[in-house]
Amino acid sequence: MNKQQLVTLTAAGLALLPATRALAGDFDQAGRFVPDPTSVAFERGLNPISYFQEGSSEECLFPHFDLIADAADALEGSEYIKVDSFGSCLERIVLFGDDVLVPEAPPAPDQAASYTASLWMRHGSASARLVVRYAEEDVVIGVLAPTGRATSDGWVELASNPVPIDGARKPLVYVRFIDFAAEDGVDLDAIELVESGPFRDQPTCTGYADPVCGEDAVCISGRCKLGGPSVPPLPRDEIRSEMVASLKSKLHTFFGGQSTRQNNLPLALATVESLMEAQTGWQFWNGWATAIHQLGDWHTNINSAFQETEPGAGLNVCFIEGSADRSQTIAPKHPVFPDVMVSHTGTGSIAGLAAGDRLVAIDGLHPIEWARGLSGVNWSHHPPCDPQSYSDYVEDLGRSRGLISRYATNFTVVRCDQTSGQCNGELETIAVAELPPVSGQGVACDNRPSYHLGVNSPAEDHRVGFDFFEGRIDGTSEEEAIFGMLWDTLYGGGDPNGYVNGKIRNAVTRWKNEARGVILDHRAGNGGTLDAPQYMTELVRPTETWAVALMPIHKAAWDGPASASEGIALFNSFASSSPYVVGSEQYDAALPVALITHRDGSASDYLPQGMKGAPKTRIFGPGPTAGAFSTFIQFVYWGDVSFQFASGDTISKDGAALIGHGVIPDEIVEQKQSDLLAGKDSIHEAALAWVRQELKP
């Protein structure tokens, strides 16, 4: 490729080169690529024997590449690398540092500075990262995205924002490359590392709003984390309006159902419009992440490298919402939000907390109010569709890498005594910086303070995963024949005999034959597909078309039915093509079935929706489910940015649009602090009491 022309990508191809960026190599008048003379690293030909390390980590599952020699179309020289199958990766193209498999790699420059990494690729798309790994396992990641420069024969330049590298700390610096799209492989050539500015330190800090981090960094786990390296560059001025218009169009055309479009979409669109004023790549992409979170939808999220590599303190504790009836004289109940208490803990880094202790505040705010305010900094922000549902926020507070350990400065608790059942009458504030790290995975949070299936219960770490746990309910007799099941996933996948659907169908058959009462504990409902809840409803009600699922969105920019009569007309129109059918003519009308809900969304919304009102069925829980009655559309962009947003709505037989309206339990039961201190599960106890009153003859 010695006589090529340089061309410019359009916004449709995500040309992200800012107006003032230090370029790496360039092309001479004859069309030959000339490396930047100031580059501190340039891989001429990318010799894979010297520089490519196969399969060195669990992430690099399919390492495979070839050296293409004597190539007339190489970008520089006569050789390039082909990563030659979909999903293949090159774990390390080592630029600097001590690596046992690449002994000839030079040490990093002694100075501390920021560097821009660039490479040229051809065919397909890929994830490319500059990784800076220090001896103490401190990692900085810089993602590479298109700059807008390309050649007439298909080579496309990728580059990073400036990435700080402190050479005095002797880091290992390498490029990691994964082919995402091309079945015939991706060509790779001319990696450069060019100094592009002063070193940016990542100092220690406290709380996500600590001003020491500056405008383009966030305090996470006690350390300022630069945003720029983890996101693509700022779109160039001449194409930014086109890109902002594209993002707005995606949301306006395809997002949501009736409630979320009416209540949340206008604010998100205004935030996207403000991206025109962004001055840095971080301001632009963090603004886009904020808009995604402002959509206020359970199915809607965004991912990037910014969410990775967050070392620091941990809090191996799980919380639950309810009524802190033993401590409200010490700390009054909030006028809007429920109280938050410790549900259960793991071991190590628990700040001396135990079940029944109360979490009063985080950085001076009610825990739920504080968590809801993180949408502009927490890229993993996960709101429900129903604004009256709080369980997603409460569940995310604890865990080994939860919101408190990542973003809080301190938190305030009331400690209580499980023996006496009383609280100590004092507010205690704990500094997050004083918490030690959590070893291993830590405890899982599933809104279940305890289990009730005896030896058939999950392990003490509360990791339910994709398993189903069944058995006789603790404390009941053989004569009562009360059975239970707990599980988190409803992903049936369309296979009636698959793992999930098979478990549900077989259990339904057994309960019809053997049980006098059933308790279904679905308090951490991760959703799935509609066939799984449909099979469960066959236990409790006759066959009926309960709703129609218009997913994705019924038509472009659809705001939902304007009236109940229009909704009923839609239901009738789609009842044969997009039905949510519940029940079976072989249902058991005499069998009492209690369903316990809490943090439930998507297919886990459809389950209680399809069971509500059925004969001898009662739903127990603290409040509405997530109200995520939709599907979602996914997008994958360059620079390891991906996002999805909800699209569609569900119309009930009475014409109501369901998205944003979680299923209200038949019996609203709050977890009591007094019960937690006594080792009791308030919601389970209420469900069991009802089942015992209604036992099948």
Mean pLDDT of the chain: 89
When mean pLDDT is compared across 88-102, 510-524, 604-618, the lowest value belongs to: 88-102
Query: Rounded to two decimals, what is the model's pTM?
Result: 0.91
Q: What is the pLDDT of residue 17?
A: 37
- What gap in Å lies between CA 666 and CA 618, rounded to an integer? 6
Q: Residue 531: enclosing H or E segment and its boundaries?
A: helix 531-537
pLDDT of 257-276, one tens digit each?
999 999 999 999 999 999 99
Phi, psi torsion values for 15, nearest 5 degrees: -75, 110
- Answer yes or no: is pLDDT of 185 > 90: no
Pick the CATH number of 6-197 from 2.60.40.420, 1.10.1760.20, 3.40.50.300, 2.60.120.260: 2.60.120.260
What confidence category does residue 86 fall into, taking pLDDT thresholds of 50, 70 and 90? Answer: low
SS3 of residue 673 by DSSP: helix
In this model, does residue 616 exceed pLDDT 60? Answer: yes
Query: What pLDDT score does 51 carry?
Result: 37
Share of the chain above pLDDT 70, in %: 89
Average pLDDT, integer, range 287-312: 91
Residues in the chain: 697
Domain at 454-543+583-627+662-693, CATH homologous superfamily = 2-enoyl-CoA Hydratase; Chain A, domain 1 (3.90.226.10)
In the chain, domain spans: 6-197, 202-231+296-445, 454-543+583-627+662-693
Taking the CA atoms of residue 565, residue 568, residue 570 and residue 574 in that order, the dihedral angle to the nearest 10 degrees is -170
R_g of the chain computed on alpha carbons: 28
Mean pLDDT of all residues in 474-502 = 97
Mean pLDDT of 615-623: 97
Counting beta carbons within 10 angstroms of the beta carbon of residue 497, is it exposed (0 to 12), middle (13 to 18) or buried (19 or more)?
exposed
Per cent of the chain over pLDDT 90 is 70
- pLDDT at position 576 over 50: yes
Give Cβ neighbours of residue 56 (< 8 Å, ≥ 6 apart).
91, 92, 101
At residue 56 the predicted structure's pLDDT band, cuts being 50, 70 and 90, is very low
For 392-401, how does the pLDDT look when each residue is reduced to its tens digit (9 = 90+)? 999 999 987 8
pLDDT, mean of residues 183-203: 86
